[in-house]
Amino acid sequence: MSLDAHVVVRRADFVLDLALAVEPGETVALVGSNGAGKTTFLHAVAGLVRLDDGHVRLGGRVLSDVRAGTHVPPERRRCGLVFQQHLVFPHLSALENVAFGLRAAGVRRREARRRAAGWLDRLGVADCGRRCGAQLSGGQAQRVALARSLACAPDVVLLDEPFAALDLASRPAVRDLLRSEVLDGTRPTVLVTHDPQDARELADRVVSLSFGSPCRGTSAAGADAAP
């Protein structure tokens, strides 16, 4: 399963034009300043933003193709988007949050809860299961949001600033968690961040985005970060 995207989104004051191919198991970090279009790119891949031109292909499926008039709605894309603001459902328990996608896909309640509990455990928030979304701390909400996306077994993982809401002390733990649980070597991952260190440590390749376009000289950063 690989991701092949050429995303063109035109706004009044801004044009995003980024072509990106991500191989199975590869992690690409998308870096750049605020307003560079990083989040818009992820949302376009996930189907929340319509393309003005270009295409999104995932494995053998065409998710978007402007010329052909194709736009698969978000709920049928199998894109695991983890939002910067987490967007954990405040009225559901952490367990119900993680079970949400499974329940939506028709998995029976008991089975969905069993699997959701497994994911909470893997992400180290098993003890938060009964607490409702609104009561979770920033770090807990982020792990629940990660578990919620991963539980749906997405074909691509799209991480939007996974470290933004975390204090410095908890960053290494989350980095390890991403390495062990998210970047599992089978599916493509796009990591949006504005921290070059996060990009170097987690990604195979770094793409810098500036005012909607990739910067020249964007290089594979995995090599120089290797020990």
**Range 51-80, binding other proteins (CB under 8 A):** 73-80
Identity of the residue, 94 or 206, whose beta carbon is nearer to other proteins in the bound complex:
94
Give, for 223, the enclosing helix (H) or strand (E).
helix 222-225
Is 5 in contact with 63 (CB distance < 8 Å)?
no
Q: Does 187 bind other proteins (CB under 8 A)?
A: no
Applying CB under 8 A, among 93, 140, 193, 208 the residue interacting with other proteins is 93
Cβ density class 135-146: b for 16+ within 10 Å, e for less: ebeebbbbbbbb
Is 169 in contact with 191 (CB distance < 8 Å)?
no
Q: Does 155 bind other proteins (CB under 8 A)?
A: no
Applying CB under 8 A, among 67, 91, 110, 216 the residue interacting with other proteins is 91
Applying CB under 8 A, among 15, 62, 87, 164 the residue interacting with other proteins is 87
Cα separation, 168 vs 86, in Å, equals 18
Q: Does 103 bind other proteins (CB under 8 A)?
A: yes
Q: How many residues bind other proteins (CB under 8 A)?
A: 33
Is 51 in contact with 9 (CB distance < 8 Å)?
yes
Applying CB under 8 A, among 10, 14, 85, 138 the residue interacting with other proteins is 85
Applying CB under 8 A, among 64, 149, 193, 208 the residue interacting with other proteins is 149
Q: How far is the CB of 97 from other proteins (least distance, A)?
A: 9
Cα separation, 161 vs 202, in Å, equals 13
Q: Which stretch binds other proteins (CB under 8 A): 30-38, 45-53, 55-63, 211-219?
A: 45-53
Q: Does 211 bind other proteins (CB under 8 A)?
A: no
In DSSP terms, 156 is beta-bridged to: 79
CA angle at residue 97 from 141 to 172, to 5 degrees? 30
- What are the CA-CA distances from residue 100 to residues 9, 87, 97, 111, 144 (Å)? 30, 13, 5, 12, 12
Q: Does 218 bind other proteins (CB under 8 A)?
A: no
Cα separation, 10 vs 193, in Å, equals 22
Q: Does 127 bind other proteins (CB under 8 A)?
A: no
Identity of the residue, 61 or 103, whose beta carbon is nearer to other proteins in the bound complex:
103
Contact residues for other proteins, defined by CB under 8 A: 46-48, 73-81, 83, 85, 87, 89-93, 96, 100-101, 103-105, 109, 132-134, 148-149, 152
